[in-house]
Structure 1
Amino acid sequence: MYHVVLGVDDDEAHARQCARDIVDLPGESTEKRVTIIHSFSDNPSGASATQIASVREASDLFEAADVEYDVEESSGDPAEAIIDVANDVDADLVVVGGRKRSPAGKALFGSVTQTVILNAGRPVMVTGVTKEA
């Protein structure tokens, strides 16, 4: 069995594509375990991660594919949260959704994906979003 950590933000299309790509990884569904992590940057309503549409989207795909999963939540820096969870569960793979950004945009605003790639210390798979996602 291998353990995958999936970092999910509020983008449902990214969550859906990441979940599909995890389901499509080699091996049977029973050989995969996924920890979905959502990090709140602002949560005045006190919502839980399972109430976030993108998290529900990924969860629904894992349930349909019979892939074991759990949901974690945190607050603060999303990249740090993803890396911390990956370390805590000793993940075999980290999956995050990528976005097209200009080099200036990455320099000015940072990139969760870039930070995870550079600091995870384990394999990272970056997915894009296809038109049908």
Structure 2
Amino acid sequence: MYRVLMPVDTSEERALSQARYVTSLPDASESVEVHVLFVFTDEGGDLPREFEQFKSASRIGSVRRATEYLEENDVDTTVREDSGDTAADILDRAEDLDVDAIVLGGRKRSPVGKAVFGSVTQSVVLNTDRPVVVAGGESS
């Protein structure tokens, strides 16, 4: 079984692009197992404070949409969630699950935007020895 970690943010378009890539892998329905990961962050404002008790990755639209697409294409899918530092959580989860690859969603940014805001993608690519695929890309 080929294990893939697919961290998603709140963008349904990026999540679907990632899911499309995963389903395009050879024999995906028979030999790929994907772990869809959503990391809740304090500064991200993913959910209003009054909904903290209901915080669940399966309630996030991008997670639901990507999971539906993967399941429609018969890919073995598990939803996972974490909270804290997105890049560190992705790297830790990849290690814990001993995945074969990490599939990230691309985001088009200017060089200044990368310098000012940092990049989860860049951090993951630079700090793992696992293959990393950046699928798609939308303007932010």
TM-score scaled by structure 1? 0.93
- Residue 32 (structure 1) aligned with residue 40 (structure 2): no
User: Does the Cα contact within 8 Å between 2:4 and 2:102 map onto a contact in 1?
Assistant: yes
The question of 1:89 aligning with 2:89 is answered no
Q: Which TM-score applies when normalising by structure 2?
A: 0.88
Partner of 1:54 in structure 2?
Answer: 62
Does the Cα contact within 8 Å between 2:67 and 2:77 map onto a contact in 1? Answer: yes
Q: C-alpha displacement at 1:80, in angstroms?
A: 1.1
Q: 2:91 & 2:21 partners in 1: Cα distance?
A: 20
- Aligned twin of 1:103: 111
For 1:25 and 1:31, how far apart are their aligned partners in 2? Answer: 9
User: Which of 113, 124, 127 in structure 1 is aligned with 2:132?
Assistant: 124
Is the 2:108–2:137 Cα contact (8 Å) retained in structure 1? no
Distance, in Å, in 1 between the alignment partners of 2:24 and 2:33 is: 13
Detail structure 1 runs of 4+ shifted over 6 Å in the superposition. none
Unaligned regions of 5+ residues in structure 2, if any?
A: none
Where in structure 1 are there 5+ consecutive unaligned residues?
none
- RMSD, aligned α-carbons: 1.2
Q: Distance in 1 between the 2:137 and 2:120 partners?
A: 16
Deviations 1:52-103 (A, max 9, x none): 0000011101110111111111111111111111101110000001111111
Map 1:65-76 → 2, pairs under 5 A: 65-76=73-84
Q: State the shift of 1:120 in Å.
A: 2.0
- Give identity over the alignment, percent: 48
Does structure 2 conserve the Cα–Cα contact (< 8 Å) formed by 1:93 and 1:124? yes
Kindly indicate which of the two structures has a greater share of residues assigned to strand. Answer: 2
What is the total number of aligned residue pairs between the two structures?
130
Contact 1:37 1:81 in 2 (8 A): no
